[in-house]
């Protein structure tokens, strides 16, 4: 695992080791990981300005970037799915949110509980979306409100990733 201290500040990780950080991921400085959180290959969580908090059961998938600016911490709630190549920058992502592949969420933006962000969407600075919004486009806009069962289906992947993280933690072996 590539877990780094910066300026004397290291990440805060679950004491019982219930998390997964891939070898090629980088978790640096002011980062808190919740129980069952998993950080996948090539992802970077660079806590060199403000804190980055990743909630219980949430996953940051391959090649995603999480960063902050002074005055803009980054929070990802519980049971969130942050897709491949997503950029989260100084924003708030509440519980049970899915951010699709390649989306960008900028400083001060807020995704309320149960939002689903389509692949490639660009959420501009300070933009806020209400609960269960289906968000698409660049610049992003909400096109409708999702039903609770739709949100549950979209975020079911969080549980899969928790189990997969446990699998990788226990049985992944480098052979070359």
pLDDT tens-digit series, residues 18-47: 999 999 999 999 999 999 999 999 999 999
pLDDT for position 154: 82
Residue 91 near residue 104 (C-beta atoms within 8 A): no
Q: Rounded to 5 degrees, what angle do the CA atoms 107, 110, 112 make? A: 165
Topology annotation, domain 2-171: UDP N-Acetylglucosamine Acyltransferase; domain 1 (2.160.10)
Average predicted confidence (pLDDT) for the chain: 97
CB environment 76-101: b (16+ within 10 A), e (fewer): bbbbbbbbbbbbbbbbbbbbbbbbbb
In the predicted structure, residue 1 carries a pLDDT above the cut 90: no
pLDDT for position 56: 98
Q: What is the pLDDT of residues 65-101, one digit of tens each?
A: 999 999 999 999 999 999 999 999 999 999 999 999 9
Considering only CA atoms, which of 166, 162, 126 is closest in space to residue 54? 162
Structural domain spans, the chain:
2-171
pLDDT for position 10: 97
pLDDT for position 126: 99
Q: Where are the alpha helices (DSSP H) in 52-174?
A: 148-155, 157-171
Tell me which of 16-30, 59-73, 127-141, 153-167 is least confident.
153-167
Q: How confident is the model at residue 155 (pLDDT cuts 50, 70, 90)?
A: confident
Task: Give SS3 for 10.
Answer: coil
């Amino acid at each position: 695992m590539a877990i780094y201290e910066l300026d004397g500040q290291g990440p805060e990780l679950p004491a019982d080791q219930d998390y997964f950080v891939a070898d090629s991921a980088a978790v640096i400085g002011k980062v808190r990981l919740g129980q069952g959180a998993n950080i996948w290959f090539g992802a970077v969580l660079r806590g060199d300005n403000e804190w980055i908090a990743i909630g219980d059961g949430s996953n940051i998938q391959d090649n995603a970037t999480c960063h902050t600016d002074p005055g803009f911490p980054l929070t990802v709630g519980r049971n969130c799915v942050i897709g491949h190549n997503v950029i989260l920058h100084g924003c708030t992502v509440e519980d049970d949110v899915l951010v699709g592949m390649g989306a960008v969420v900028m400083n001060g933006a807020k995704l309320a509980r149960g939002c689903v962000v389509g692949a490639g969407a660009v959420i501009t600075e300070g933009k806020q979306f209400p609960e269960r919004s289906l968000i698409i486009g660049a610049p992003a806009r909400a096109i409708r409100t999702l039903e609770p069962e739709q949100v549950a289906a979209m975020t079911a992947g969080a549980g899969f990733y928790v189990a997969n993280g446990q699998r990788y933690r226990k049985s992944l072996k480098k052979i070359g």
